[in-house]
Amino acid sequence: MTRTAIYLDCNATTPIEPKVQEEVLKYLSVEFGNSGSRTHDYGARAKQAVERARRQVAAVVRAKTDEVIFTSGATESNNLAILGLASHGEVTQRRHIVSSLIEHKAVLEPLEALSKRGFEVTLVRPNKDGWVQPDLIRDAVREDTLLVSIMQANNETGVVQPIPEIGEILRDHPAYFHVDAAQGFGKEFAAIENERIDFLSISGHKVYGPKGIGALIARRRGFNRPPLSPLFYGGGQERGLRPGTLPVPLIAGLGTAAELAMKQNDERRARCLSFRRTALEMLRPLDPIFNGDPSRSLPHVLNLSLPGVDSEALMVALKGTIAISNGSACTSQSYEPSHVLRAMGLAAEQIKGAVRLSWCHMTDTPDWTEVTKIIKRLL
């Protein structure tokens, strides 16, 4: 019988919660109506499922239900938040954007596209511990700054960024504040409940929901909606910002995943912290170097390097025991040294040896003795 490796790559994608799977299947096979159909009960029930999910997602960040725009995931949400503001920036002559060098490519590449349209982008460098110092954001913001975009938690290191402090810096500034919350939504709550955050991007498959669904939270300022323009057209769904037939099964699944994240947060966190303690205890004799401040990291992530061990060789050696990664899954087809770790100023050898372990409350305990035995052969 072939042994299955223990999955430790939850920052790339998470397993789906059984209750979420049941909800998705229900709206795939039984309640298969189009939420835009207004002439029969199938459509009415589908619409009810969508609106319930909108409430469930909004509750996680204390947003209003009509501020939730369903998308295909955080990548689309990031693009809508960033590129969707371009026309407003051009009309108002506010063409400056502040972000950081450790953002996901789903933020960095839309910013690059805007720079080609005449926008000026300032990318702040993190410190060696993997987080952006708020004072650098304060120094970078100008009178003509249109947008500040900083992620909630880094996908490679797990390091949580100082979102509340940045929000306070922007309190009296008209710039829009966007947070890519793909990694932290449903796991770390307080920071993204902040009403100063105008835009929040989330993905279902990072919070034990289905792939292909996410949302952009676009908070109103008073009675005014953010001046977003759609990226494509046709149908007028989602207040004209995201046209197309709504994927009711995926939306219902995301809503259930959001609700479970709130209800089960304490037990999930306790399980992840327990896993972390065991992992650290077993790995400590190998003298790992941690990339990013572990004390600021999400409880389910470790990014580390082992002196003298190449990450590719390590992943191959551990392939039958644990499934790990050495960077973002979104750029893994053409591997190059992590832009996140390079921005942190780490040594080339340390970056070359870096691997990421990420788990969740459903992760089985690996055979750590076997894991360490394999690693020792490479030292």
| Catalytic annotation, residues | 330
Q: What does DSSP assign to residue 193?
A: G
**Neighbouring C-beta atoms of residue 124, cutoff 10 Å:** 21
The span from the CA of 14 to the CA of 253, in Å, is: 14
Q: 255, 240, 224: which is closest to 51 by C-alpha?
A: 255
Both structure tokens of 160? 């949580």
233 token code pair: 């057209």
| Beta-sheet strand order (sheet of 145-149) | 68-71, 214-218, 199-203, 176-180, 145-149, 96-100, 120-124
Q: Which residues pair with 54 in a beta bridge?
A: none
The token pair that represents 192 in the structure block:
């993204």
> Using CA atoms, how far apart are residues 297 and 151, in angstroms rounded to an integer?
13
Q: Which residue has the tokens 């949580």?
A: 160
For 212-278, the DSSP string reads T-EEEEE--BTTBPP----SS-SS-TGGGTS-S---HHHHHHHHHHHHHHHHTHHHHHHHHHHHHHH
Contact yes or no for 217/92 (Cβ under 8 A): no
Which residues neighbour 64 within 8 Å (Cβ) at sequence distance 6 or greater? Answer: 58, 219, 220
| Whole-number Å distance between alpha carbons of 351 and 354 | 5
Q: Which tokens hold the place of 30?
A: 């039984």
The burial of 317, by beta-carbon neighbours within 10 Å (0-12 exposed, 13-18 middle, 19 or more buried), is given as middle
**β-strands 199-203, 6-7 pairing:** unpaired
